[in-house]
Structure 1
Amino acid sequence: MELISVIVPCYNEEEAIPFFYKEMDRVSKLMNEFDFEFIFVDDGSKDSTLEIAKKLAQQDGRVKYISFSRNFGKEAAIYAGFDLSNGDYCVLMDADLQDPPALLPEMMNAIQNEGYDSAATRRVTRKGEPPIRSFFARQFYKIINQISDADIVDGARDYRLMTRKMVDTILDMKEYNRFSKGIFGWIGYDTKWIEFENVERVAGETKWSFWKLFKYSLEGITAFSVVPLQIASIFGIIFSLIAFIMIVVIIIRTLIFGDPVSGWPSLVCIIMLIGGIQLLSIGILGQYLSKTYLETKRRPIYIEKETNIGVQDEE
């Protein structure tokens, strides 16, 4: 039978994993024409996430786990899950059950019977999410779709079922600074979008604060667009033209009307404005330079501390 690899990035999810496993076990029994493997990727958790995964592995041979030496971030966990999976199909899911496993049969039908390469999910509501967070999330999707080549759907979740060919293509992109939502859209392939209403976490608390989401959005923009660099250049051109025009105006006023230039408060404001624009432009340039710096180091995307995957394969 064909194998489905279920990849579950985990960071401090000790409360949610038992609920997730119970629900996935139920769904896997309904899809008994497939074999399953459950890969729990412990992203340097500080709770009992790894211990729970180990207990499940002892009870169920389908359960596999890998633990990182420290917290490398969800993007590294996603890559590791893809890298270690053996399935003919791979599905990426969160452990908190905000990605309903019950949608998996419909997603598989889209690939096997409708000819799609992947089936992805998107939320049509953001019930339970703070309004300010929802507002900025929607603005982010609008901005990144306008300034980049990546096709990122508003409300898109990481919950996605893919063929092995698509997963291998993702693994070929070995960049250190990863933004999976953008990678999924950038590589192409035919994708069917399945909509569902937002689901609350089954247990535990979200690890994504507003600040972390803001930094993640900057990662996405710098990873798939150079428009911010172009904006910095445009600022330079505009202020250079304004400065040139003002120089001409001041010279003419002085020669014709003998009008001395006065007003130090306005001068200070102009200096502050131009200085701010310069610092903004340098900051934008620094963001791209830092990404290049990290890529040239060629550091590993993740470091494995402990796993049972090789052991199970040998057995």
Structure 2
Amino acid sequence: MKKLSIVVPCYNEQESIPLYYPAVEKVVHKMPVKVEYIFVNDGSSDNTLNELRKLQKQDPEHVHYISFSRNFGKEAALYAGLKATKGDLVVVMDVDLQDPPEMMLKMYDLIENDDWDVVGCRRINRAGESKLRSFLSNMFYKVLNKISKTKLVPGVRDYRMMTRQVVNAVLSVSEYNRFSKGIFSWVGFNTKYLNYHNVKRVAGKSTWTVWQLFKYAMDGIFDFSQAPLNFTLWLGLTSSVLSFIGIIFIIVRHWIFPQYSVQGWSSLVCIILLIGGLQLLCIGLVGRYVGRIYLQVKDRPIYIIKEKK
């Protein structure tokens, strides 16, 4: 009998955990697998860790948890959970039940009978979310797919079932700045996506703000595209060409129409500020890539475990 590992990142989810476990148990009991749960407490400030301790005592054979020394972020929690898995098949899902557990039955059937390596899920609508978040999400997928060779399916979730071979490939990508959606796509393998309608959280509130989602989107762009660097190159080249043309124009005008060669201080200051602003923009974009290299070469651990069961 195959073993199924379920990785569940948790951050301030004390209300969701007691509801999540029985809901998923109803589904996995319908599958011919042995199951293990790997909960990862990402430095929660509420009673999430206590809830995980209770759950582990309730079912010590199947439930395990990892607790970080502080909040390292969901990407670190996913990585730690995947490293701790021992199953032939691995599922990644959220604890708030926005990832419908019953879809695991279809995932398992497709992997076992149709020779898929990964079966993921994508939301076909974002009902219940603000229009701003939906708009920003849609724009992110459009922009990233235009500027990156690594394509993301719009609405794709981390929720997926993978074979052990795929999990090992994902773990081999041990970069410090992680963007799992991009990594899942980058490693390849035969992948199928199942569509579903958005599901509301069973309890609690999302800890993701619009600003955090924006920063997360920027991480994805900088991790999987060199378009910002190319932008600075073309911006600098265009600025140089236009400046050269402007210099020639000024010289020619001075000799042919000397009466029009009066210098304007305001226009000169505007040009200086424009060029200076463009230079700072380019330096800032390049600096983002240099900063990511700096974090990588320091070789700090992606996470630190304080408690593990």
TM-score by length of 1: 0.96
Counterpart Cα distance in 2 of 1:261 and 1:88 = 78
1:269 Cα deviation from its structure 2 partner: 2.4
Superposition pairs for residues 192-231 of structure 1, below 5 Å?
Answer: 192-231=192-231
Cα distance in 1 for partners of 2:269, 2:130 equals 40
**Fraction of identical pairs, as percent:** 51
What TM-score, normalized by structure 2, do the two folds share? 0.98
8 Å contact kept, 1:250–1:261: no
Matched AA of 1:77: A
After superposition, the C-alpha distances for 1:18-43 in whole angstroms (9 at most, x for unaligned) are 11111011111222x11111111000
Deviations 1:77-116 (A, max 9, x none): 0000000001100000001111010100001111111110
User: Structure 1 residue 199: deviation in Å?
Assistant: 0.6
1:278 corresponds in structure 2 to 279
Q: Does 1:262 align with 2:272?
A: no
Match of 1:82 in 2: 82
Q: Distance in 1 between matches of 2:134 and 2:267?
A: 39
Mapped partners of 2:272, 2:130: distance in 1: 39
AA of the residue aligned to 1:293: Y
Question: For the residues of structure 2 that align with 1:129 and 1:36, how far apart are their CA atoms?
Answer: 33
Structure 2 distance, partners of 1:93, 1:221, is 23
Q: 3-state SS of the aligned residue for 1:305?
A: strand
* Greater alpha carbon shift after TM alignment, 100-109 vs 253-262: 253-262
In the alignment, residue 37 of structure 1 is paired with which amino acid? E
Specify the alignment match of 1:63 in structure 2. Answer: 63
* Residue 193 of structure 2 corresponds to residue 180 of structure 1: no
Higher alpha-carbon deviation: 226-235 or 262-271: 262-271
Residues 116-265 of structure 1 mapped to structure 2, 5 A cutoff = 116-258=116-258, 259-265=260-266
Q: Deviations over 1:237-256 (max 9, x none)?
A: 00000000011111111111
Consecutive unaligned residues in structure 1, runs of 5 or more: 309-315
Count of aligned residue pairs for this structure pair: 307
- Once the two structures are TM-superposed, the CA of residue 261 in structure 1 deviates from its matched residue by 3.4
Query: By how many angstroms is 1:262 displaced?
Result: 3.2
Quote the RMSD (CA, aligned, Å).
0.9
- Distance in 1 between residues matched to 2:253 and 2:216, nearest whole Å: 51
Question: How far apart, in 1, do the equivalents of 2:262 and 2:282 lie?
Answer: 29
Q: Provide the rounded CA distance (Å) in 2 between the counterparts of 1:29 and 1:163.
A: 19
Unaligned segments of structure 2, at least 5 residues: none
Aligned to 1:101, the other structure's residue is in SS state coil
Aligned equivalents of 2:86, 2:97: Cα separation in 1? 23
Residue 68 of structure 2 aligns with an amino acid whose one-letter code is F
2:37 aligns with 38
Hey, what's the Cα distance between the residues in 1 that align with 2:196 and 2:41?
27
